[in-house]
Homo-oligomer: A and B are copies of this chain.
Amino acid sequence: MIVVMSHLADQRDIDSVINKLKNFGFQVHLSQGVERTIIGAVGDRTQLLDVGIEAMPGVEKLVPIMRPYKLASRVFKEEDTVVQLGNGVAVGGGNLTVMAGPCAVESKEQLFQVAKEAKEAGAAVLRGGAYKPRTSPYSFQGLEEEGLKLLAEARELTGMPVVTEVMDVNTLPLVCEYADVLQIGARNMQNFFLLREVAKTDKPVLLKRSPAGTIEEWLMAAEYILAGGNPKVILCERGIKTFETFTRNTLDLTAVPVVKYLSHLPVVVDPSHAIGNWRFVQDMSRAAVAAGADGLLIEVHPNPAEALCDGPQSLTPDNFTALMQELKRIAPAMGKSIN
């Protein structure tokens, strides 16, 4: 941590900051320039956050040097984390894992049809929402437990592990009964009570990036889960909010190599939600794989025009099959094998 003193700070201000840092056990280095005094503090990063230096008299600003996450960092664990999802499917470590299915589970017919066609096309994991976070209270909110049961049946049918969203602490045990992977939705990336509870389960967690989440905040959310005892975290980039309105959000694909540089956790990409328009899903799936993503989350619906949720961004089974055929061609060029 670097403390930059104001040009108006006097010696007493400087001494106070130094004493406070020393009291907290930091080593202190002083640089007295012509215009400005700068104080470097070296010590336990987990303490740095609560020292309150920034509000002391004469302090102009505080520049953190160390990254605030530890367990999530590549420095802490050098080798890539591989997360096992069950039924022999893993994310990370040279696998390209495609998770496909409808935005929302709507009916047995809808789900089973998609599940079978996705499986045949080469998907490894079945996705589908039983609890749906919807901007409007008047929109379809999901089949809830009924949806979870259908997902479990579809797993029996196809052998694909199931990923589905858990929206709150109280339905977590129920979701754990049926799901193989717990999805934390983008709006819940910083729902810290929920993060702490999924950390206590033994399920893999797919942690979506918030549309307002910096990469650092996203890794801090992962840190909550890791620090709570669950090492099986998969990150999922799904677009951030920007001024561009043609796409629903702006897919930040650079986050893929950046996360791999900063962290050992695997990262997958959800182009469907980011873009909000099926036309560009295949192009951006390809781009995500080329950027180094460990997997994809793709919405597929047997009849997008009849979908109760997010139809415009859903691929038809035929389009999904075309995408998978292209990925099979491209994955090897990226040193990945589709699992």
Residues of A whose CB lies within 8 Å of any CB of B are: 2, 4, 7, 20, 27, 29-31, 33-36, 38, 40, 42-43, 46, 49-50, 52-57, 63, 65-66, 68-69, 75, 133-141, 167-171, 187-188, 190-194, 210-212, 214-217, 220, 223-224, 227-228, 240-247, 250-258, 261, 274-275, 278-280, 283-284, 286-292, 304-309, 311-312, 314, 329-330, 333-334
Contact = CB atoms under 8 A, between A and B. Distances in A.
Contacts of A220: 135-137
Given A68-B136, A133-B190, A290-B286, A254 B241 contact: no
A246 B65 contact: no
Contact of A304 (B52, B240, B257, B305): B52
B246 A214 contact: yes
A164 B27 CA distance: 38
Nearest to A188: B191
A334 B68 CA distance: 40
15 contacts: A29-B30, A55-B305, A55-B311, A168-B169, A212-B241, A215-B244, A240-B242, A240-B243, A244-B252, A245-B245, A250-B252, A254-B280, A254-B283, A258-B280, A287-B291
Given A241-B241, A244-B255, 10 more contacts: A33-B42, A134-B192, A168-B194, A214-B245, A214-B246, A240-B243, A251-B252, A254-B280, A261-B279, A287-B288
A307 to B, nearest CB: 5
A290 B292 contact: no
User: What 10 A-B pairs have minimum CB-CB distances, sorted nearest first?
Assistant: A212-B212, A55-B311, A33-B42, A290-B290, A55-B304, A287-B291, A257-B283, A46-B138, A29-B31, A168-B193
A139 B311 contact: no
A284 B291 contact: yes
A158 to B, nearest CB: 25
A34 B38 contact: no
B7 A36 contact: no
Contact of A217 (B20, B54, B135, B256): B135
A92 B148 CA distance: 44
Contact of A216 (B31, B246, B292): B246
A241 to B, nearest CB: 4
Contact of A55 (B65, B228, B307): B307
A262 to B, nearest CB: 8
Given A133-B192, A167-B192, A308 B50 contact: yes
Contacts of A309: 50
Contacts of A252: 242, 244, 250-251
Nearest to A215: B246
Contacts of A289: 290
A245 B258 CA distance: 12
B244 A240 contact: yes
B65 A2 contact: yes
A264 to B, nearest CB: 14
B251 A258 contact: no
A199 to B, nearest CB: 9
Contacts of A251: 252-254
